[in-house]
Amino acid sequence: MLDKSRLYMVINYGKSPVGVASRSGSMMIAAADKDGTPSEQPLSLDEIVEINSMCGAFKLGLLRFEKEFEEEIYELLRIHNWRDIMTDEEIEETLLNPSLESLQKIIDIRDPLYFERVRGIYTGLKSVVADVPGKVDMVINERTREFAKKITTSAIQLVPKNNGNAEVDALKEQMAQMQEQMAAIMADKKQTFTSGYITTDKDEPAPESVTTVAVSEPAPKKKRTSTKKKTTTAKKAEEK
C-alpha cells in the first residue's frame, strides 16, 4: 500500500540527465554515473502524479521507480503497459543481439518520442563502433522514415530466416565427423603396419614387440701378396 506521507525514489538509469516539470517548478534528474550506478531523486506521490501529467518521462521509460513499489506506482499513474516499456539495457541487448521477438517490439513502438529514445541509444552504439547487425540498421532507418511521414503503425514485416542454411551447416558437420572417423581408421591401419607385422584373417597371435638388431657391414678384405714369387726372385739375385 502506497503512503502519501512518504517519499519514493525516482530513478534514472540512463546516460543522460532528464528534465521534468511540475506545478511547483522544473528539475533536472542527473544521469547515471560512469560506472552505471543510477541516480535517485526522492519525490512525493503528488509530485510524481504532477510530473506524469505534464511530461512523458515515466511513460517513455526515461525514469523508473523502485522495484518494491513500481507496480503500485504505475497503476496509480494508469500506465498499464509498464512491463512492456524496455529499459536501456534491454534496448541495447536488442540492438546488438536481436531476436525476432525483441526486434518486433521496436517495430511495434507507436510513440515517436519512445522511438527517439531507442534511436538515441542506437546512435550511441554506432558512435563507439559497436557491432550492430545490418538488419537492425535497416529497421531503425526505415522506422525513422515512417515516423517522418507520421506513420505510427509500421509496415515493416519480419520474416523468419530460411532454415536451409541450418540444414547445410548440419550436413557439413556430419561430413566432417565422417572424415574424422575415416582418418582415425586409416591411422589405426598405418599403426598396424609400422608396428612390424601385418594382420591376416588367421587367428595368429601378434608379437608383443619388435626387436631391432643392428648388424655392421663386414670390413673389406685386404689383397694378399704371393710369398712364393718373392722367394724365387731372391734366389735369382743371389746366383748372379
Read off the pLDDT of residues 90-131 as tens digits, 9 standing for 90 and up.
Answer: 999 999 999 999 999 999 999 999 999 999 999 999 999 889
pLDDT digits (tens, 9 = 90+) for 209-219: 333 233 333 34
pLDDT at 177: 74
- Prediction pTM value: 0.63
Q: Taking Cα atoms as reference points, which of 150, 91, 154 lies closest to residue 123?
A: 91
Which has the closest alpha carbon to 10: 112, 80, 22? 22
Q: With H, G, I as helix, E, B as strand and everything else as coil, classify residue 57.
A: coil
What residue has cell string 524496455?
86
Cell (9 digits) for 134 = 545490418
Is residue 62 within 8 Å of 38, Cβ to Cβ? no
Pull the grid cell for residue 139: 529497421
Q: What tens digit of pLDDT does each residue of 51-85 get?
A: 999 999 999 999 999 999 999 999 999 999 999 99
Contact predicate 9/40, CB 8 Å: yes
Q: What is the pLDDT of residue 161?
A: 74
Tell me how far apart the alpha carbons of residues 106 and 66 are, in angstroms, rounded to a whole number: 25
Q: What is the dihedral of CA 172, 175, 179, 182, to 10 degrees?
A: 170
